[in-house]
Structure 1
Amino acid sequence: MYDVSIIVPIYNTEKYIEKCLVSLFEQDYKNIEYVFINDETMDNSMQILSNVLKRYPDRKEDVKIINNEKNYGSSMSRKIGIEASTGLYTIQIDSDDWCELDMISSLYNKAVSENADIVCCDFFENCMLKKVYVKEDYDIILEKDSIINSFFLGEIHPSLCNKLVKRNLYNSLDFPKGSFGEDLYISLQLFYFSDKISYLNSAFLHYNRVNLSSVTSRKNNINDIKEIFLKVKNFLESKEIYDKFKDAFHSKIFIMTITNYNGNFSKTINSISEDLNKLKYIYIAKVGFMKKIAFTIAFFGFDGLYFSIKRGWMGVKKGIKI
């Protein structure tokens, strides 16, 4: 059995995947299993994987490559990777991101020393012109309800890529079919079913903010948000905790929608749920003051002005999506 399995779905990331692979194969920890899922990629990503692997013959026996029969998207590809993995712990890495070389050893040692089901860490956002350290706002006592509320509000990133997770936690998880926002639903379930959550106050993952093509079209995003809303709502209701997290959860879906709609916000948000169409959800969320002003402009129907502001932010930040 491996100590850690790294799950990497691959789809059209030929510009970035070599850096990702090198950072994974050069980890200073040895007992790692690598599971790569070819999600019907249409570029040279798989050839690059083959070429890079030749440079690391000592890792060759630790690699599994799975070829999907069709393009399933990142969520179902991750599920396929989990089912094929054998490690005690797993971590999901996107093939356009990269890691510090002591990421696995640091997270695994923390997990073992504290007998943790999940170990979370900080991360970097890498843009064209700068690197930003993103500190996660975990409560000192790591109380489960506080963590769930915090990641709904945006104080904690729902990404799976900065979380080492015991593989058996995935046994009873439900995976959404969509590939946008799936981390929100999966992380919620992981946090809920975990007994011990630990936090390492260091950044190891480099989140690629330059690759704008990693996000699907806005139309598909809204469809995926609808699915995530219903799945999270049903999950919270089934555990009889919906009322406890309702405002924070609604605020999260509101912000996801307002950053991805393509015109007529009121109609878009109502198509998900009329209960979401409330101005207060802008001001509950942990976003900057200027974003709250811009979102308020969108809420009152001034789409042209909002999109103009948004394009300006994206241009200034060189690849950071608001």
Structure 2
Amino acid sequence: MDRLVIIMEITNYAVTVVITAYNLEKYINSCFNGLVSQDMQDFDVLFVNDASTDKTMEMVSRWKERFKSRLHILDLDNNTGMPALARNAALDSGLIDGEYVLFIDGDDLIENNMLSKLYNTALQGEKADVCICAFDRIDKATGKRISTDMKGFPSEYFITGNDDMLAFINTSPWNKLWKYDVIKELRYPSFKVGEEVSFNFRGYMAANKIRFVDDVLIHYMVHRDSVISNTEEKTIWDFAEDLKQLEREVSEKYKNVVQLIIFIHIGLSMATRACENDKVDFDDYLRRISLYFDEFIWFKGNKLLSFMNLSRRGLKGICIWLAFLMYKCRLVGKVIRVGYKLSKRMRF
């Protein structure tokens, strides 16, 4: 009977913040300090400890005294080896109570108005299915800003699949406040790089409206020495196969934008990572990319990959079109090496 009373007293919060962490004893207090300082406190926290071996759990246990029933701890017995599976554990847990859900990493730093700004913007008029804010990337070693992203988007966007907007929204999970009902049946694929791309796209297909906040509300901490150069070739091709499956699944109206996403991520982003990894035979990788694109007949007739369309995206769009042209002219090696230098600034 007591257990029944406790269940009946659970509050449905406006937002559930899901934090995933592995060995983040140096940063986890800063993350929780950011939550304590929020000017909106109508949220609960689901903390997923991915089998940390340092003092992360000890520190989070102290925060339990501060948050009390608003802090749920999911302590995994074995390390999942990838953030995607830790987020899936949260989605499988039944502990997400909020109308909206936000996924962040335990070393991210958030502004004290992040939750209120995203939530209140989502609720303006007819509720949005997802609300996305601008963010910056911070070099963890130096504390210097590397880049600022997701500024200059329209305040509201209705998802149609007829344009390229979904290809130019950054794919990161930590700047997106999702309506939980939209994504509660989705799960991240089990690989380490690009896993959020198909998750987000499937979420967009189940959604109707996106709202954007032009303010930088979260600061993403980057390990600059590991993200690019240590990407394994297997995980790249796992990602490529997942996107191929996505393209097969979607209705005809979404195929052009999925193909644009495939070219940006597999033809540019992942190729630059392969270029920088000494363990990857880059010539063989380029051969496999050509065979992979052959399966899409090189995106023939895709209006979203035309110069007329991409030039509307400014320098970034023109660079994508030039890269596509260079691919078709079999000058792929040069374009990838140039693309790597550009990607440091433009973050494809």
C-alpha deviation, 1:271, in angstroms: 6.3
Give the letter aligned to residue 10 of structure 1: A
Which residue does 2:289 correspond to in 1? 269
Give the letter aligned to residue 135 of structure 1: M
C-alpha deviation, 1:205, in angstroms: 1.1
Which residue does 2:100 correspond to in 1? 89
Cα distance in 2, alignment partners of residues 291 and 246 from structure 1: 15
Give the letter aligned to residue 68 of structure 1: L
Please say which of residues 263-272 and 64-73 is displaced more in the overlay.
263-272
SS of residue paired to 2:47: strand
Cα distance in 2, alignment partners of residues 141 and 308 from structure 1: 34
Which residue does 1:33 correspond to in 2? 44
Within the candidate set 159, 184, 188, 2:201 is matched to 188
Within the candidate set 138, 160, 167, 2:153 is matched to 138
* Residue deviations 1:156-208 (CA, integer Å, cap 9, x gap): 21222111111111233243122321221111112111133222221201122
Which residue does 2:135 correspond to in 1? 123
Q: Which runs of 5+ in 2 are unaligned?
A: 1-11, 275-279
SS of residue paired to 1:33: strand
Q: TM-score, normalised by structure 2?
A: 0.74
* 1:300 and 2:331 are equivalent in the alignment: yes
Residues 112 and 313 of structure 1, relative CA distance in 2, 3 Å threshold: closer
Within the candidate set 69, 75, 88, 1:79 is matched to 88
Within the candidate set 22, 30, 41, 1:19 is matched to 30
Which residue does 2:119 correspond to in 1? 108
Which residue does 2:3 correspond to in 1? none
* Residue deviations 1:36-64 (CA, integer Å, cap 9, x gap): 1122234443334335x16xx33132111
Cα distance in 2, alignment partners of residues 60 and 45 from structure 1: 18
* 1:98 and 2:109 are equivalent in the alignment: yes
C-alpha deviation, 1:94, in angstroms: 1.6
8 Å contact kept, 2:34–2:109 = yes
8 Å contact kept, 1:138–1:147 = no
- Over the matched positions of the two proteins, sequence identity in percent amounts to 22
CA RMSD of aligned residues (A): 3.6
Please say which of residues 75-84 and 263-272 is displaced more in the overlay.
263-272
Please say which of residues 191-200 and 207-216 is displaced more in the overlay.
207-216
* Residue deviations 1:11-55 (CA, integer Å, cap 9, x gap): 24344333223212322221211111122234443334335x16x
Residues 60 and 201 of structure 1, relative CA distance in 2, 3 Å threshold: same
Cα distance in 2, alignment partners of residues 135 and 184 from structure 1: 16
Give the letter aligned to residue 104 of structure 2: I
8 Å contact kept, 1:178–1:227 = no
Cα distance in 2, alignment partners of residues 30 and 255 from structure 1: 41
Cα distance in 2, alignment partners of residues 3 and 34 from structure 1: 11
Q: TM-score, normalised by structure 1?
A: 0.79
8 Å contact kept, 2:138–2:220 = yes
Give the letter aligned to residue 287 of structure 2: K
Within the candidate set 221, 244, 257, 1:208 is matched to 221
| Mapping for residues 161-310 of structure 1, pairs under 5 Å | 161-210=174-223, 212-213=225-226, 217-236=231-250, 239-252=251-264, 253-261=266-274, 262=280, 263-264=282-283, 265-270=285-290, 272-275=292-295, 287=316, 300=331, 302=333, 310=340
Give the letter aligned to residue 15 of structure 2: V
Residues 23 and 198 of structure 1, relative CA distance in 2, 3 Å threshold: same
Cα distance in 1, alignment partners of residues 338 and 254 from structure 2: 36
Q: Which runs of 5+ in 1 are unaligned?
A: none
Residues 312 and 181 of structure 1, relative CA distance in 2, 3 Å threshold: closer
C-alpha deviation, 1:102, in angstroms: 0.8
Within the candidate set 161, 164, 180, 1:149 is matched to 164
Residues 34 and 231 of structure 1, relative CA distance in 2, 3 Å threshold: farther
Residues 279 and 3 of structure 1, relative CA distance in 2, 3 Å threshold: closer
SS of residue paired to 2:46: strand
